Amino acid sequence: MGDHGSKYYLLYAMTGRSPESRNRVFKSDESGRIFTAVADPSKSVGDPKNTLYDAMLESSQTLVVSNGQHTHQVFDSVRHEGTPQQALRQWTFEDDKIGTARIAAVLSFERNPMLEMVLLRRAVFSAYSERNYYGFNTLSPGVGFCISTYAGDGDPPPAFYGEPVALPLLGRMENIVATYKDALEGKNFVALVIKEFDFGSCKSRIEIINRYGS
Protein backbone atom coordinates (compact mmCIF):
# COMPACT_ATOMS: atom_id res chain seq x y z
CA MET A 1 0.00 0.00 0.00
CA GLY A 2 1.42 3.37 -1.01
CA ASP A 3 1.89 6.12 1.53
CA HIS A 4 -0.93 8.12 -0.11
CA GLY A 5 -3.46 5.52 1.02
CA SER A 6 -5.53 5.06 -2.16
CA LYS A 7 -2.90 3.41 -4.36
CA TYR A 8 -1.65 -0.15 -4.09
CA TYR A 9 1.45 -1.69 -5.65
CA LEU A 10 2.65 -5.06 -6.84
CA LEU A 11 6.37 -5.42 -7.56
CA TYR A 12 8.10 -8.36 -9.17
CA ALA A 13 11.87 -8.50 -9.52
CA MET A 14 13.09 -11.19 -11.91
CA THR A 15 16.61 -12.53 -11.44
CA GLY A 16 18.62 -15.17 -13.25
CA ARG A 17 21.69 -17.23 -12.34
CA SER A 18 22.14 -18.92 -15.73
CA PRO A 19 22.40 -17.42 -19.24
CA GLU A 20 19.08 -19.10 -20.09
CA SER A 21 17.13 -17.57 -17.23
CA ARG A 22 18.72 -14.17 -17.91
CA ASN A 23 17.53 -14.26 -21.53
CA ARG A 24 14.12 -12.85 -20.59
CA VAL A 25 12.14 -9.63 -20.43
CA PHE A 26 8.82 -8.52 -19.01
CA LYS A 27 6.11 -7.38 -21.42
CA SER A 28 2.52 -6.20 -20.94
CA ASP A 29 -0.73 -5.94 -22.87
CA GLU A 30 -3.82 -3.71 -22.68
CA SER A 31 -5.60 -5.99 -20.19
CA GLY A 32 -2.92 -5.37 -17.56
CA ARG A 33 -1.38 -8.79 -18.09
CA ILE A 34 2.37 -8.97 -17.44
CA PHE A 35 4.26 -11.86 -18.98
CA THR A 36 7.81 -13.05 -19.49
CA ALA A 37 9.20 -13.28 -23.03
CA VAL A 38 12.47 -14.17 -24.74
CA ALA A 39 14.96 -11.29 -24.90
CA ASP A 40 17.15 -12.72 -27.67
CA PRO A 41 15.41 -15.33 -29.88
CA SER A 42 18.78 -16.60 -31.11
CA LYS A 43 19.64 -17.82 -27.59
CA SER A 44 18.11 -20.47 -25.35
CA VAL A 45 15.64 -19.61 -22.61
CA GLY A 46 15.94 -22.98 -20.88
CA ASP A 47 12.82 -24.98 -20.04
CA PRO A 48 9.95 -22.73 -21.20
CA LYS A 49 7.48 -24.19 -18.72
CA ASN A 50 9.63 -22.72 -15.94
CA THR A 51 10.81 -19.52 -17.62
CA LEU A 52 7.92 -18.29 -19.81
CA TYR A 53 4.61 -17.52 -18.09
CA ASP A 54 2.07 -14.86 -17.19
CA ALA A 55 3.45 -13.06 -14.13
CA MET A 56 0.54 -10.71 -13.31
CA LEU A 57 -3.19 -10.83 -14.05
CA GLU A 58 -5.94 -8.48 -12.93
CA SER A 59 -9.69 -7.97 -12.74
CA SER A 60 -11.60 -5.03 -11.30
CA GLN A 61 -11.32 -6.47 -7.77
CA THR A 62 -8.31 -8.77 -7.86
CA LEU A 63 -4.60 -8.53 -8.66
CA VAL A 64 -2.49 -11.69 -8.87
CA VAL A 65 1.27 -12.08 -9.21
CA SER A 66 3.28 -15.30 -9.37
CA ASN A 67 6.61 -16.65 -10.57
CA GLY A 68 5.38 -19.46 -12.82
CA GLN A 69 2.71 -21.33 -14.75
CA HIS A 70 0.44 -21.39 -11.69
CA THR A 71 -0.67 -17.75 -12.14
CA HIS A 72 -3.87 -18.61 -14.01
CA GLN A 73 -4.91 -21.32 -11.56
CA VAL A 74 -4.61 -18.88 -8.65
CA PHE A 75 -6.43 -16.15 -10.60
CA ASP A 76 -9.32 -18.46 -11.55
CA SER A 77 -9.62 -19.76 -8.00
CA VAL A 78 -9.88 -16.39 -6.26
CA ARG A 79 -12.33 -15.09 -8.88
CA HIS A 80 -14.66 -17.96 -7.96
CA GLU A 81 -14.49 -17.50 -4.18
CA GLY A 82 -11.54 -19.84 -3.75
CA THR A 83 -8.21 -19.13 -2.11
CA PRO A 84 -4.64 -19.19 -3.41
CA GLN A 85 -3.72 -22.04 -1.09
CA GLN A 86 -6.64 -24.11 -2.47
CA ALA A 87 -5.49 -23.35 -6.01
CA LEU A 88 -1.96 -24.60 -5.28
CA ARG A 89 -2.90 -27.71 -3.32
CA GLN A 90 -1.67 -30.03 -6.08
CA TRP A 91 1.42 -27.97 -6.98
CA THR A 92 4.98 -28.37 -5.72
CA PHE A 93 8.23 -26.45 -6.14
CA GLU A 94 9.62 -26.29 -9.68
CA ASP A 95 11.27 -29.32 -11.24
CA ASP A 96 14.54 -27.56 -12.04
CA LYS A 97 17.92 -28.63 -10.61
CA ILE A 98 17.67 -26.43 -7.52
CA GLY A 99 13.97 -26.86 -6.77
CA THR A 100 12.99 -23.22 -7.19
CA ALA A 101 10.12 -22.26 -4.90
CA ARG A 102 6.73 -21.31 -6.31
CA ILE A 103 5.36 -17.99 -5.11
CA ALA A 104 1.97 -16.35 -5.52
CA ALA A 105 0.37 -13.24 -4.04
CA VAL A 106 -3.20 -11.98 -4.30
CA LEU A 107 -4.34 -8.43 -3.58
CA SER A 108 -8.14 -8.36 -3.39
CA PHE A 109 -10.55 -5.46 -3.03
CA GLU A 110 -13.94 -7.19 -2.82
CA ARG A 111 -14.44 -5.94 0.73
CA ASN A 112 -11.54 -4.29 2.52
CA PRO A 113 -8.16 -4.52 0.76
CA MET A 114 -6.48 -7.80 1.70
CA LEU A 115 -3.14 -9.38 0.81
CA GLU A 116 -2.57 -13.16 0.67
CA MET A 117 0.78 -14.80 -0.12
CA VAL A 118 1.74 -18.43 -0.71
CA LEU A 119 5.22 -19.97 -0.81
CA LEU A 120 5.81 -23.59 -1.88
CA ARG A 121 9.41 -24.62 -1.25
CA ARG A 122 11.43 -27.80 -0.93
CA ALA A 123 11.53 -29.10 2.65
CA VAL A 124 14.88 -28.93 4.43
CA PHE A 125 15.19 -32.65 5.24
CA SER A 126 13.12 -34.28 2.48
CA ALA A 127 12.08 -33.96 -1.16
CA TYR A 128 8.55 -32.90 -0.24
CA SER A 129 7.02 -29.44 -0.45
CA GLU A 130 6.50 -27.12 2.48
CA ARG A 131 3.41 -24.95 2.06
CA ASN A 132 3.47 -21.55 3.70
CA TYR A 133 0.51 -19.17 3.72
CA TYR A 134 0.50 -15.55 4.89
CA GLY A 135 -2.54 -13.28 5.15
CA PHE A 136 -2.75 -9.56 5.88
CA ASN A 137 -6.23 -8.18 6.61
CA THR A 138 -4.87 -4.74 7.48
CA LEU A 139 -2.47 -2.89 5.19
CA SER A 140 -0.56 0.14 6.45
CA PRO A 141 0.26 3.16 4.26
CA GLY A 142 3.82 3.14 2.98
CA VAL A 143 4.49 -0.53 3.79
CA GLY A 144 4.69 -3.58 1.53
CA PHE A 145 5.61 -7.22 2.14
CA CYS A 146 8.16 -9.31 0.26
CA ILE A 147 8.83 -13.02 -0.16
CA SER A 148 11.53 -14.44 -2.40
CA THR A 149 12.61 -17.72 -3.92
CA TYR A 150 16.06 -17.52 -2.32
CA ALA A 151 17.62 -15.90 0.73
CA GLY A 152 20.90 -15.11 -1.03
CA ASP A 153 23.50 -16.41 -3.44
CA GLY A 154 25.18 -19.80 -3.19
CA ASP A 155 25.48 -23.15 -4.96
CA PRO A 156 22.76 -24.13 -4.54
CA PRO A 157 21.25 -20.86 -3.26
CA PRO A 158 19.60 -21.08 0.17
CA ALA A 159 15.80 -21.06 0.15
CA PHE A 160 13.88 -18.14 1.62
CA TYR A 161 12.64 -18.87 5.15
CA GLY A 162 10.77 -16.90 7.75
CA GLU A 163 8.02 -14.30 7.63
CA PRO A 164 7.48 -11.91 4.71
CA VAL A 165 9.84 -8.95 4.96
CA ALA A 166 8.29 -5.50 5.44
CA LEU A 167 9.63 -3.00 2.89
CA PRO A 168 8.92 0.70 2.25
CA LEU A 169 6.57 1.94 -0.48
CA LEU A 170 7.22 5.67 -0.29
CA GLY A 171 6.44 8.44 -2.73
CA ARG A 172 4.98 8.20 -6.19
CA MET A 173 5.31 5.24 -8.49
CA GLU A 174 8.43 6.73 -10.08
CA ASN A 175 10.07 7.03 -6.65
CA ILE A 176 9.28 3.42 -5.79
CA VAL A 177 10.66 2.20 -9.13
CA ALA A 178 13.90 4.12 -8.59
CA THR A 179 14.28 2.83 -5.02
CA TYR A 180 14.05 -0.83 -5.96
CA LYS A 181 15.92 -0.57 -9.24
CA ASP A 182 18.90 0.82 -7.33
CA ALA A 183 18.58 -1.85 -4.63
CA LEU A 184 18.43 -4.71 -7.13
CA GLU A 185 21.34 -3.76 -9.38
CA GLY A 186 23.74 -6.69 -9.64
CA LYS A 187 24.89 -9.47 -11.91
CA ASN A 188 21.72 -11.54 -11.42
CA PHE A 189 19.22 -8.73 -12.02
CA VAL A 190 17.08 -9.37 -15.12
CA ALA A 191 13.96 -7.20 -14.93
CA LEU A 192 11.61 -5.28 -12.64
CA VAL A 193 7.91 -4.61 -13.07
CA ILE A 194 5.65 -2.53 -10.85
CA LYS A 195 1.88 -2.24 -11.12
CA GLU A 196 0.05 0.66 -9.48
CA PHE A 197 -3.66 0.10 -8.78
CA ASP A 198 -5.92 3.03 -7.90
CA PHE A 199 -8.59 1.79 -5.47
CA GLY A 200 -10.94 4.65 -6.34
CA SER A 201 -10.91 4.37 -10.14
CA CYS A 202 -10.01 0.64 -10.36
CA LYS A 203 -7.42 1.55 -12.98
CA SER A 204 -3.85 0.29 -13.11
CA ARG A 205 -0.57 1.68 -14.38
CA ILE A 206 2.54 -0.34 -15.24
CA GLU A 207 6.26 0.40 -15.33
CA ILE A 208 8.75 -2.16 -16.68
CA ILE A 209 12.54 -2.07 -16.56
CA ASN A 210 14.31 -4.74 -18.62
CA ARG A 211 18.06 -5.23 -18.41
CA TYR A 212 18.23 -7.18 -21.65
CA GLY A 213 16.15 -6.24 -24.70
CA SER A 214 12.93 -4.26 -24.50
pLDDT of residue 124: 76
User: Between the ranges 135-139, 146-150, 191-195, where is the mean pLDDT highest?
Assistant: 191-195
Phi-psi region of 171 (alpha: psi -120 to 50; beta: other; left: phi over 0): left
pLDDT of residue 56: 98
pLDDT of residue 185: 83
Digit-coded pLDDT (tens) for 89-125: 889 888 888 888 999 999 998 878 899 999 999 887 7
Residue 206 has pLDDT above 90, yes or no: yes
How many CA atoms, within 13 angstroms, populate the side-chain half-sphere of residue 155? 2
pLDDT confidence bin for 199, thresholds 50/70/90: confident
CA 52 vs CA 9, 46, 74, 87, 167: distances in Å: 23, 9, 17, 20, 27
Alpha helices (H) along the chain? 19-22, 48-51, 71-79, 84-87, 173-184
What's 101's DSSP letter?
P
- Position with higher pLDDT, 111 vs 134: 134
pLDDT of residue 119: 94
Residue 5 has pLDDT above 80, yes or no: no
Other Cβ atoms closer than 10 A to 198: 14
**Can you list the domains of the chain with their CATH numbers?**
7-210 (3.60.20.20)
pTM of the model: 0.93
Q: List CB contacts of 122: < 8 A, sequence separation 6 or more.
A: 93, 99, 101, 128, 129, 130, 159
- Position with higher pLDDT, 128 vs 174: 174
CA 167 vs CA 1, 2, 104: distances in Å: 10, 11, 18
What's 178's DSSP letter?
H
The backbone torsions φ and ψ at residue 173, rounded to the nearest 5 degrees and listed phi first, read -55, -40
pLDDT of residue 97: 81
